[in-house]
């Protein structure tokens, strides 16, 4: 039973204050208590907002107003809490923010009645080891990317699976993605689309020097280690397209399945196939598409 909801909003989006205010009013009329993230609360001139981790610990449902980037950023803060998250896109609907703004109230009406389902999306735990010291650990939903940045030469990326040598990719970089992230950068780099509830990861080299280096789908229980070998400095690590670090030759990264999952509430109005067709511009209809 949902008695409290938390609202996180992208304060850079036009009318985010207005939409937050309206959603709070509507929810209150439904007898649901509403708590706000501290950023949108300040934007609204209020002082009762909560830091995101604390917000997640106090509510039964988290509503994220923004785009896929806003949802990815929110997930990093609240991943340790087993809380359902519904994404409402303030522009066109996304792969993660499945609910359109014009259907927000009809979707939430069903959700508050308990007429919804969630998808458990696996996450990645990233340990970044620079100069033999672990300097950063993060849990992310989409992908980790190593790219050559401003380097003119390709990167040598030694890759092992559970300690066993796979290969050394000579490429512009490498993408390691969850099924959720398969429709992000990995897709642009020629990777496969994997349905989001599958238990697997993608290792996808970017513009490999050896054309036989192709994307690989591996079980999600495998631990991946990547060591950068290059005489030049400046290779860049990016997590979910939002956090960025610099690696030097000999630095390494360990990627494995996180113990956390992201519980995304599915849109009551469309399924994943419709999202794929719309976002990727696939044509066709259920009938009338056969060859004559």
How confident is the model over 11-51, as pLDDT tens digits?
A: 998 899 999 999 999 999 999 999 999 999 999 999 889 99
Pairing of strands 61-66, 84-89: parallel
pLDDT computed for residue 292 by the predictor:
38
Structure tokens belonging to residue 41: 């609360």
**Which residues, including other chains, have CB under 8 Å from residue 249's CB and lie 6 or more apart?**
228, 229, 230, 231, 232, 233
**What is the average per-residue pLDDT within 226-235?**
84
Same fold, 4-117+266-280 and 123-259: no
pTM over 0.85: yes
pLDDT at 233 over 80: no
**136 or 103: whose pLDDT is higher?**
103
**What is the average per-residue pLDDT within 210-231?**
93
- Domains in the chain: boundaries: 4-117+266-280, 123-259
**What is the average per-residue pLDDT within 130-136?**
73
The residues annotated with a catalytic role in the active site are 68
pLDDT computed for residue 230 by the predictor:
84
Choose which CATH entry (1.20.1440.230, 3.30.70.20, 1.20.1580.10, 2.60.200.30) describes domain 123-259. Answer: 2.60.200.30
| Residue length of the chain | 292
pLDDT computed for residue 202 by the predictor:
98
Query: What kind of architecture, by CATH, is found in domain 4-117+266-280?
Result: 3-Layer(aba) Sandwich (3.40)
Tell me the backbone φ, ψ of residue 186, rounded to 5 degrees: -60, -40
Structure tokens belonging to residue 84: 């359902």
CB count within 10 Å of CB 280 equals: 11
Q: End-to-end distance of the chain based on CA atoms, in angstroms?
A: 52
pLDDT computed for residue 3 by the predictor:
94
Cβ atoms 64, 52 nearer than 8 A: no
90: enclosing H helix or E strand: none
E-only strand ranges, the chain: 4-9, 33-36, 61-66, 84-89, 99-100, 118-130, 133-140, 143-147, 155-161, 164-171, 173-177, 200-206, 216-219, 224-229, 235-239, 243-247, 252-265
CA 3, CA 88: separation in Å to the nearest integer?
Answer: 19
pLDDT computed for residue 93 by the predictor:
65
pLDDT computed for residue 2 by the predictor:
92
């Amino acid at each position: 039973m949902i008695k409290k909801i938390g609202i996180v909003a992208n304060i850079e989006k036009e009318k985010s204050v207005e939409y937050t205010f309206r959603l709070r009013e509507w929810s209150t009329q439904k007898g649901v208590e509403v708590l706000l993230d501290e950023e949108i609360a300040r934007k609204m001139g209020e002082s009762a907002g909560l830091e995101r981790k604390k917000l997640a610990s106090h509510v039964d449902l988290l509503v994220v107003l923004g785009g896929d980037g806003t949802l990815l950023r929110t997930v990093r803060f609240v991943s340790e809490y087993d809380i359902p998250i519904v994404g409402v896109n303030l522009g066109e609907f996304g792969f993660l923010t499945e609910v359109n703004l014009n259907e927000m109230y009809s979707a939430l009406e069903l959700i508050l009645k308990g007429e919804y389902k969630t998808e458990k999306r696996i996450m990645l735990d990233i340990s970044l080891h620079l100069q033999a010291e672990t300097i950063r650990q993060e849990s992310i939903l989409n992908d980790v990317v190593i790219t050559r940045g401003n380097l003119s030469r390709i990167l040598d990326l030694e890759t092992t699976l559970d300690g066993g040598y796979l290969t050394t990719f000579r490429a512009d970089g490498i993408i390691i993605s969850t099924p959720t992230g398969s429709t992000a950068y990995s897709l642009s780099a020629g990777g496969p689309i994997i349905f989001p509830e599958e238990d697997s990861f993608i290792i996808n080299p970017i513009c490999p020097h050896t054309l036989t280096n192709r994307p690989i789908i591996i079980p999600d229980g495998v631990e991946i280690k990547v060591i950068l070998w290059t005489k030049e400095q400046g290779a860049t690590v990016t997590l979910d397209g939002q956090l960025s670090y610099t690696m030097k030759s000999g630095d390494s990264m360990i990627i494995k399945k996180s113990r956390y999952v992201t519980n995304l509430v599915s849109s009551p109005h469309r399924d994943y196939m419709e999202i794929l067709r719309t976002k990727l511009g696939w044509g066709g209809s259920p009938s009338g598409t056969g060859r004559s």
